[in-house]
């Protein structure tokens, strides 16, 4: 009789572990960072993060926060407080738009000169997290992305595979 109770206990334990195992959202795509505006008074960058809910049940994203770094300098924070329910096996996208002053990222500290008149390739990094809610369980999922981006107003320029500025 005690063996049957032991097997029953193990069976119930394994079933309960399967039900409580909620997987984190999986990053599907960190789209190329676009420079939408590159002027003396404002710089605007855009990217889109796409996540997959690998679970059978829906998950609710209740908060998103990403710090944005350009050229190693913290230029702003993106915050979204919009609650969004993601169906099981469904996709979730967060469009991230950040405006900042050029001197916040493109200043040569040795000379105090802004590089806004020249074309510059530098790292854009996003560091942040999503808060999710599945049933009664709240989770915080951290993400960290880095990408080399060309800041220019010249449509004929691009970055090659070695991140050198080239002309089309």
Domain presence at residue 9:
no
What integer is the mean pLDDT of 17-28? 65
Return the higher-pLDDT residue of 48 and 115.
Answer: 48
Structural domain count of the chain: 1
- Mean pLDDT of all residues in the chain? 82
Tell me how many degrees the CA angle 51-23-137 measures, rounded to the nearest 5: 105
Domain presence at residue 56:
yes
Domain presence at residue 118:
yes
Domain presence at residue 10:
no
Tokens standing for 61? 């994203």
* Cα separation values, 63 from 27, 49, 132, 145, Å: 16, 14, 7, 18
The CA distance from 140 to 36, in Å, is: 30
Under a CB-based contact definition with an 8 Å cutoff, are residues 50 and 26 in contact? no
Return the higher-pLDDT residue of 165 and 17.
Answer: 165
**Which band of pLDDT confidence, cut at 50, 70 and 90, is reported for residue 157?**
very high
In which domain, by residue range, is 147 found?
24-167
Domain presence at residue 129:
yes
Determine phi and psi for 73, rounding to 5 degrees. Answer: -110, 135
> By percentage, how much of the chain surpasses pLDDT 90?
45
**Which band of pLDDT confidence, cut at 50, 70 and 90, is reported for residue 151?**
very high
Domain presence at residue 2:
no
Domain presence at residue 101:
yes
The whole-number pLDDT of residue 114 equals: 52
Give tens-digit pLDDT for 58-83: 999 999 999 999 989 999 999 999 99
Beta strands in 71-136 (DSSP E): 73-80, 84-86, 91-100, 107-108, 113-114, 120-134
Domain presence at residue 59:
yes
Judge whether residue 8 has pLDDT over 60: no
Judge whether residue 21 has pLDDT over 80: no
Q: Which of 7-11, 26-30, 39-43, 158-162 has the lowest mean pLDDT?
A: 7-11
| CATH code assigned at 156 | 2.60.40.10
Judge whether residue 34 has pLDDT over 70: yes
Return the higher-pLDDT residue of 14 and 68.
Answer: 68
The whole-number pLDDT of residue 111 equals: 47
């Amino acid at each position: 009789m005690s063996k049957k109770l032991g097997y029953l206990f193990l069976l119930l334990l394994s079933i309960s572990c399967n039900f409580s195992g909620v997987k984190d959202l999986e990053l599907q795509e960190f789209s190329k960072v676009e420079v939408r505006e590159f002027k003396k008074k404002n710089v605007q960058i855009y990217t889109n993060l796409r996540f997959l809910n690998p679970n059978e049940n829906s998950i609710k994203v209740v908060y998103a926060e990403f710090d944005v770094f350009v050229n190693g300098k913290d230029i702003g924070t993106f915050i979204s407080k919009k609650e969004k329910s993601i169906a099981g096996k469904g996709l979730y996208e967060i469009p991230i738009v950040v405006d900042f002053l050029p001197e916040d990222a493109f200043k040569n500290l040795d000379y105090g000169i802004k590089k806004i008149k020249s074309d510059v390739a530098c790292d854009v990094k996003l560091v942040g997290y999503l808060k999710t809610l599945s049933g009664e369980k709240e989770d915080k999922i951290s993400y960290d992305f880095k990408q080399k981006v060309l800041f220019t107003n010249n449509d004929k320029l691009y970055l090659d595979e070695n991140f050198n500025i080239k002309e089309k």
